Amino acid sequence: MTPQDTTATPRLSVRQGHSTNTDVNAAVRELAAQIWQPNSKICLVFFSDEYDRQTLGRAIQEHLPGLVVGCTTAGQLSSVGFQRSGICGVSLASDELIAAPYLIHPLSSLVEQVGDIAEDVQAKIHRAKLPAFGLLLVDGLSMKEELLTAALFRALGDVPIVGGSAGDMLKFQQTFVYYQGALFNDAAIFILLLTSLPFHVFKHQHFRPTTTRMVITEAEPNQRLVKEINGEPAVEAYAQLIGLPVDQLNGTVFSQHPLMLRIRDDYYVRSIAGVGPNGSLKLYCAIDVGLVLTIGQGYSIKEEFENNISRIEQHIGEPAVIIGCDCIHRRLEMEAQGIDESIGQMFARNKVVGFSTYGEQFNSAHVNQTFTGVAIAG
216-238 pLDDT, tens per residue?
999 999 899 999 999 999 999 99
Same domain, 24 and 120: yes
Q: Using an 8 Å Cβ cutoff, are 342 and 305 in contact?
A: no
The pLDDT value given to residue 115: 97
Average pLDDT value for residue range 290-300: 95
Are 293 and 185 in a shared domain?
no
Percent of the chain clearing pLDDT 70 (strictly above): 98
State whether 243 and 158 are in the same domain: no
Total domain count, the chain: 2
CB 268 within 8 A of CB 207: no
Are 195 and 211 in a shared domain? no
Q: Name 280's Cβ contacts closer than 8 Å, sequence gap at least 6.
A: 225, 226, 227, 233, 234, 235
Per the structure, the complete domain to which residue 272 belongs is given by: 207-298
Q: Is residue 250 over pLDDT 70?
A: yes
Whether the per-residue pLDDT at 184 is higher than 80: the answer is yes
Q: Are residues 172 and 24 in the same domain?
A: yes
Running DSSP on this structure, what letter comes out for residue 25? H
- The per-residue pLDDT for 8 is 46
Each residue of 52-109: pLDDT tens digit? 999 999 999 999 978 999 999 999 999 999 999 999 999 999 999 999 999 999 999 9
Q: What is the pLDDT of residues 262-283, one digit of tens each?
A: 988 899 999 999 999 999 999 9
What does the pLDDT average to over 315-341? Answer: 95
How much is the pLDDT for 312?
A: 98
Query: How far, CA to CA in Å, does 243 sit from each of 236, 237, 247, 351?
Result: 10, 10, 12, 40
Q: How far apart are CA 230 and CA 290, in angstroms?
A: 10
- Residue 65 has what pLDDT? 75
| Residue 195 amino acid letter | T
Is residue 150 within 8 Å of residue 367, measured between CB atoms?
no
Residue 134 CB neighbours (<10 A)? 24
253 and 346 together in one domain: no
Question: For residue 180, which phi and psi values (nearest 5 degrees)?
Answer: 50, 50
Phi, psi (degrees; rounded to nearest 5) at 147: -65, -45
Last residue of a domain, one of 298, 323, 339: 298
Among residues 298, 318, 345, which one ends one of the domains? Answer: 298
Q: Do 161 and 245 share a domain, yes or no?
A: no
According to DSSP, the β-strands at 161-165 and 132-138 are parallel
Residue 161 pLDDT grade (very low, low, confident, very high; cuts 50, 70, 90)? very high
Shared domain check, 25 and 58: yes
Residues 165, 17: one domain?
Answer: yes
> Do 117 and 143 fall into the same domain?
yes
Q: pLDDT tens digits, residue range 127-159?
A: 999 999 999 999 999 999 999 999 999 999 889
- Predicted confidence at residue 5, as pLDDT, reads 52
The chain-wide mean pLDDT, for the chain, equals 95
pLDDT band at 3 (very low <50, low <70, confident <90, very high): low
CATH of the domain at 211: 2.40.30
Residue 4 pLDDT = 54
DSSP for residue 306: H
Phi, psi of 212, rounded to the nearest 5 degrees:
-80, 110
Which residues make beta-bridge pairs with 322? 352, 375
Give the integer Cα–Cα distance in Å for 183 and 106: 13
Same domain, 55 and 186: yes
Rounded to whole angstroms, how far apart are CA atoms 250 and 259? Answer: 15
Instruction: Among 268, 298, 328, identify where a domain stops.
Output: 298
What does residue 24 show for φ and ψ, rounded to 5 degrees? Answer: -65, -45
The answer on 169 and 156 residing in a single domain is yes
Q: What is the pLDDT of residue 110?
A: 97
Query: What is the spatial distance between Cα 67 and Cα 61, in angstroms, rounded to a whole number?
Result: 9
Residue among 96, 92, 78 nearest 351 (CA): 78
